[in-house]
Structure 1
Amino acid sequence: MNTRKPKLRSAAWFGTADKNGFMYRSWMKNQGIPDHEFAGKPIIGICNTWSELTPCNAHFRKLAEHVKRGIYEAGGFPVEFPVFSNGESNLRPTAMFTRNLASMDVEESIRGNPVDAVVLLVGCDKTTPALLMGAASCDVPAIAVTGGPMLNGKHEGRDIGSGTVVWQLSEQVKAGKISIHEFMSAEAGMSRSAGTCNTMGTASTMACMAEALGVTLPHNAAIPAVDARRYVLAHMSGMRIVEMALEDLRLSKLLTREAFENAIRTNAAIGGSTNAAIHLKAIAGRIGVPLELDDWTRIGRGTPTLVDLQPSGRFLMEEFYYAGGLPAVLRRLGEANLLPHPDALTANGKTLWENVREAPIHNAEVIRPLDNPLVQDGGLCVLRGNLAPNGAVLKPSAATQKLLKHRGRAVVFENFDDYKARIGDPGLDVTADSVLVMKNCGPKGYPGMAEVGNMGLPPKLLAQGVTDMVRVSDARMSGTAYGTVVLHVAPEARAGGPLAIVRNGDWIELDCEKGVLRVDISDETIVARLDEWAANQHPIPADRSGYRKLYVEHVLQADEGCDFDFLVGCRGSDVPRHSH
């Protein structure tokens, strides 16, 4: 550890013997804080996304207490503060709509307050990227502590995955294979402890991304929420952040281009969520690291998926942790020379490879060897063509292999409401070879780019035994979902992308191996249709005021991370000093 004591940010508030120092210390003392706590100790902020409306994060009060113990033990002083809790499970229209709002809350809370470093308590899907984005914009020493996944779901004597079982059983109800009563009976057993989804959904994916980026301690991603070792990790993270503050180990030293390349490769190996492409781009944009959608092809493709977890595989996050967790995956990658930058620095001051080179691997079924992967090529499939000029993505490990090269006629839904109104119609002109296309569900269109891209199949086809179809939209899908689903089509329909002019009966071509997504019509026809589309556009009244107006006017497209255009870039932690 660096023994030279750096100048602490908090000294600008508490370190002066003048009127301002008097008032800052005096106001804080109304909480019973003694003089010696202001005597040059690192002040550590605990950025808490606790909320009873965010079930994944509802245990964070206890988690924060363990972080505080570690901070005190290491000689720091903890100050806990709340920020917007961006929970996917309850928040409408989608937590993605308020991810950027939450990041603004985090950024300004850090910059405006007397904290020298921060512990980011993250868990539910968007809380992880939102807090990392906000902290990155300030570039302060920061460490993330994830709340952990919930225990395995249990139903009728078998393990069930949170989120994934909903998609599975609801399709079975529509197909007439189970009753609504059987469906509802799974509800109580799906979420039976505190924590995030226990599948490799977006929450678990982003926890793995944070660990692969080096902004957490090892094993942060997978320890179950109710396992005592989760609280030990919180304690140790509290201790470590005090050292990071004294070392001035800022996020810019961790969130490097090399770290993001490690994360992209890791996402392929774990079968991670497509949402990671959007969130990593947004985090990289805040710290000033160039990251493009094509990097997912260059770095991720060709990487085998080693983790056999739902929705792509069989197991759940409990088994993943007991098998060795993310360090075991990173060890497998490193030993095969598939870890792009093993020397990347991490939050504990060691390199990524130093942290994982001796990681134990306890179960070769859950964390498979390189010669027996779940999927040979698990990287995200980045697609381009006249239907997605700026790109779209597909998750091969969750898709049906024979559909990864497909040509079919489009069955078009103008928006999600149109889809809901018509998908169950017995007279819908659709076959198993059709391509379901849904428009106006992107960043501006929904707004917020909701997780509706994994459109449920037409009940009349489910009844015939059809289990998957090619689906195309500008929406996202839950990381717990599965299927041959093309997502994040950019530009989106609402922004005038070619998706806006696809019509029923148009032929859609998908070729994942070649990275192609196109509609089989001429360029001239596309231009003519887009001119006609533009002439018929009218402002949406709901977009004219409030946060929604800000969002629709400033959100970037999916390939750019869906951040606000005015938030991209690192603004640092300096703040004008106010004199009372």
Structure 2
Amino acid sequence: MHRKRPEELRSHRWFGVEDLRAFGHRSRMLQAGYSESDFRGKPVIGIINTWSELSPCHFHFRTRAEEVKRGVWQAGGFPVELPAHPVTEQYQKPTSMLYRNLLAMETEELARSHPCDGLVLLGGCDKTPPGLMMGAISAGLPCIFVPAGPMLRGNWRGKTLGSGSDVWKYHAELRAGNITPAQWKDMEGGIARSFGTCMTAGTAATMMLAVEALGFTLPGASSIPAADSAHPRMATEAGRRIVEMVWEDLTPQALITEGSVDNAVTAAMAFGGSTNAIPHLIAMARRAGVMLDLERFDALSRRVPLVANLRPNAGEYLMEDFFYAGGARAFLNRIRDYLDLSARTVTGRTIGENIEGAEVFDETVILPLDKPLQKEGGLAVLKGSLAPNGAVIKTSASEQRLLQHTGPAVVFEDYADLKKRLDDPDLPVTADSVLVLKQAGPQGGPGMPEWGMLPLPQKLLKQGVRDMVRISDARMSGTSYGTCVLHVAPESHVGGPLAFVKDGDLIRLDVPNRRLDLLVDEAEMARRRAAWTPPKRRYGRGWTSLYLDNVTQADEGCDLRFLEGTLPTPEPDIY
């Protein structure tokens, strides 16, 4: 393996040459209090930090960045912290997904425009793993991911609570009149007990695991709870390792292959992970030139059993339990027969070598292959007359009786219509109805908000109904559950068939045969298409306008067209 010399470092062009511009660069470092021996001839490591005071998942990144720096210094590198858009799941409206691509573009541009030789990516909350990875892949510099880790499990009145999942569960009971407003209020203080991401098998946990399976974290890093003392030790070790990766020139392009992408998808399927993993992993893979599509997800999901006994699937446990049961290494070792064990990772070793010998300590949490939660992975891809380009469903979080169902549509034209009419006592809805939400896709939302777990009408909740078929072009939280068909493509906003569904139309869901069909004849559909008027555009400026001009559909990863592909990031012309 070729090892770089100091004069081959990218940062050498800023700090190592003798000209006017390098004079200015070095003098500004001296201005900051550094000595020339601190930075000259050493790998400059950009620490891309998504810390924010409005990102409780990332509260600890202020200190984790310092712990990464300690490792960089120990290994002979020079760390520089670069703040990036936090993409806050809890607070950003209309949805954090609107800003994933902004983080990706920012990450790429931070790397391109600064004297970085390698990157440490600090992320975890749902959209930060894909956003950081998309940008870093396009930038092409050696990079390593430091996952935020899950928070501690919740507790309320002796019950173990899972973030998100139990919010939806108990809110339904509140609306049904089975718990009091005072009990609901009391739950607020017990459901999120530390910094870190959701501790259910939601999008954050899914994407951190997928990034590890792709080869971009230290072994086992994705499952360490944020508050565990192993977490800062992992951060420091990542800082040490990235310096060596720079000398080895171990770039994303050397690690991402069809095999490593399949590993990431397979891990997410066996984990029973979030439906959000599908557009995220498609976007990440395509940045590296691997044309991942919905068909590949479905094929891999059919092949691997679901062995993580976690909520919000039909499982019992949370991520803290998963860690104590052996964590990511044990989980990946459990499904090793379904992985490409030759895929290289940031350690310099293969994923097979990284997981070799990892033990499962609790087989009620990480199940044996012959006793899975279900025989196939957690997600399925559907196609049919209602979703010509595809839709997805989380079978592991659905009522099995509803996976083959035909019922009349109850249609909501947008989210405001849903909120206005859902609990109307006169709404013509029964447990056999199919709830349909339009205008919630990449353009219609905009940003494809997490509206896809449509709440059930209050009158049905009071009758004891807790699940029914729901269809939309939206996403749903990875902590959600229910028989929710999501990501319908093309979306209604651009004239996909979903735009033409009317109250009373029969819709047939057939998950075993991977079908989603609107039972309306083609002549009637042609009449509806001819009478349809495209919705007016609501955003004419700023990031959202740029996003709307360029975003792709859900089956294509929701990336921006001008950011897709493997065209290299050009180096600055002037140093």
Q: TM-score, normalised by structure 2?
A: 0.98
Partner of 2:218, secondary structure, is coil
Is contact 2:29-2:35 (8 Å) kept? no
Match of 1:131 in 2: 132
Does 1:63 find its partner at 2:77? Answer: no
Letter in 2 for 1:318: E
Is it true that 1:227 corresponds to 2:228 in the alignment? yes
1:335-384: CA deviation from partner (whole Å, max 9, x where unpaired): xx222x11100110111111112002110000000111112222421000
Structure 1 counterpart of 2:540, from 544, 566, 569: 544
Q: Offset of 1:255 from its aligned partner?
A: 1.9
Residue aligning to 1:419: 418
CA contact (8 A) 1:265 1:300 kept: yes
What's the CA shift string for 1:469-511, capped at 9, x where partnerless? 0100000000000001000000000011000000000000011
Q: Is the 8 A contact 2:112 2:572 kept in 1?
A: no
Q: Distance in 2 between matches of 1:169 and 1:491?
A: 33
Q: In the TM superposition, what is the alpha-carbon distance from 1:247 to its structure 2 partner?
A: 0.3
Aligned to 1:556: 552
Per the normalisation by structure 1, the TM-score is: 0.97
Amino acid at match of 1:525: E
Instruction: Describe the SS at the equivalent of 2:332.
Output: helix
Counterpart for residue 198 of structure 2: 197
Which residue number corresponds to residue 470 of structure 2?
471
Contact 1:265 1:379 in 2 (8 A): no
| 1:570 alignment partner in structure 2 | 566
Work out whether 1:304 is the aligned partner of 2:305. Answer: yes
Choose 374-383 or 54-63, whichever is displaced more: 374-383
1:506 matched to 2:505: yes
- Matched with 2:169 is 168
Question: What is the CA deviation profile of residues 109-155 of structure 1, one whole-angstrom value per residue up to 9, with x for unaligned ones?
Answer: 11000000000000111111110011111111000001111000010
Q: What letter matches 1:55 in structure 2?
A: P
2:349 corresponding residue in structure 1? 350
Counterpart secondary structure, 2:493: coil
Compared CA separation, residues 379 and 157, structure 1 to 2 (3 A): closer
Please give the alpha-carbon distance, in whole angstroms, between the structure 2 residues aligned to 1:185 and 1:576. 55
Count the aligned residue pairs: 573
1:5 has 2:2 as partner: no
Match in the other structure for 1:182: 183
Q: The residue matched to 2:111 in structure 1 has which SS?
A: helix
Deviations 1:88-119 (A, max 9, x none): 11111110011111111111011000000000
SS of the residue 1:411 aligns to: strand
2:102 is aligned with 1:105: no
Whether contact under 8 Å (1:302, 1:379) holds in the other structure is no
The CA distance in 1 between the partners of 2:283 and 2:121, in whole Å, is: 17
Aligned match of 1:23: 24
User: Is the 1:66–1:231 Cα contact (8 Å) retained in structure 2?
Assistant: yes
Look up the equivalent residue of 1:317 and give its one-letter code: M
Structure 1 residue 553: Cα displacement = 1.6
Aligned counterpart, 1:397: 396
Question: Where does 1:442-461 land on structure 2 (aligned, <5 Å)?
Answer: 442-461=441-460
Identity fraction in percent: 49
Contact 2:500–2:528 at 8 Å: present in 1 too? Answer: yes
Counterpart of 1:326?
A: 328
**1:576, distance to aligned residue in structure 2 (A):** 2.7
Equivalent residue for 1:374?
A: 373
How many Å separate the matches in 1 of 2:421 and 2:570? 54
Instruction: Give the 3-state SS of the residue equivalent to 1:13 in structure 2.
Output: helix
**Is the CA contact (8 Å cut-off) linking 1:473 and 1:488 kept in structure 2?**
yes
Between the aligned partners of 2:281 and 2:556, the Cα distance in structure 1 is: 10
Query: In 1, distance between residues paired with 2:146 and 2:39?
Result: 26
Which residue does 1:523 correspond to in 2?
522
Within 2, Cα distance between the matches of 1:176 and 1:377? 36
How many angstroms does 1:577 deviate by?
Answer: 2.7
CA distance in 2, matches of 1:553, 1:180: 44
SS at match of 1:309: coil
Q: Is the 8 A contact 2:113 2:572 kept in 1?
A: no
Distance across 2 between alignment mates of 1:139 and 1:234 = 22
Tell me, in whole angstroms, the C-alpha distance in 2 between the residues paired with 1:229 and 1:186.
Answer: 29
Q: For the Cα contact (< 8 Å) 1:47–1:81, is it kept in 2?
A: yes
SS at match of 1:381: strand
Taking only aligned residues, the RMSD between alpha carbons, in angstroms, comes to: 1.1
Query: Displacement of 1:5 after TM fit?
Result: 3.0
Contact 1:47–1:120 (8 Å) recurs in 2: yes
In structure 2, the partner of 1:338 is 338
Is the 8 Å Cα contact of residues 118 and 142 (structure 1) preserved in structure 2? Answer: yes
Shift of 1:573: 4.4
Q: Which deviations, in whole Å up to 9, do the C-alpha atoms of 1:425-473 show, x marking residues without a partner?
A: 1111011111100000000001010001000111111111111001000
Aligned to 2:440: 441
Determine if contact 2:494/2:534 at 8 Å carries over to the other structure.
Answer: no
**Cα distance, 1:2 vs structure 2:** 5.0
1: CA distance, partners of 2:160 / 2:483: 24
* Alpha-carbon distance in 1 for matches of 2:245, 2:60: 26
2:319 is matched with which residue? 317
Q: 1:199 to 1:420 in 2, by over 3 A?
A: same
Q: SS at 1:189's partner residue?
A: coil
SS at match of 2:377: coil
Give 3-state SS (helix, strand or coil) of 2:392's partner.
strand
Deviation at 1:165, TM superposition (A): 1.1
Q: 1:138–1:571: 8 Å Cα contact kept in structure 2?
A: no
**Letter of the structure 1 residue corresponding to residue 546 of structure 2:** L
CA contact (8 A) 1:138 1:570 kept: no
Q: Is the 8 A contact 1:140 1:573 kept in 2?
A: no
* Cα distance between partner residues in 2 of 1:252 and 1:450: 31
What SS is found at the alignment partner of 1:437?
Answer: strand
Say which SS state the counterpart of residue 566 (structure 1) adopts: helix
Cα distance in 2 between the residues matched to 1:110 and 1:571: 15
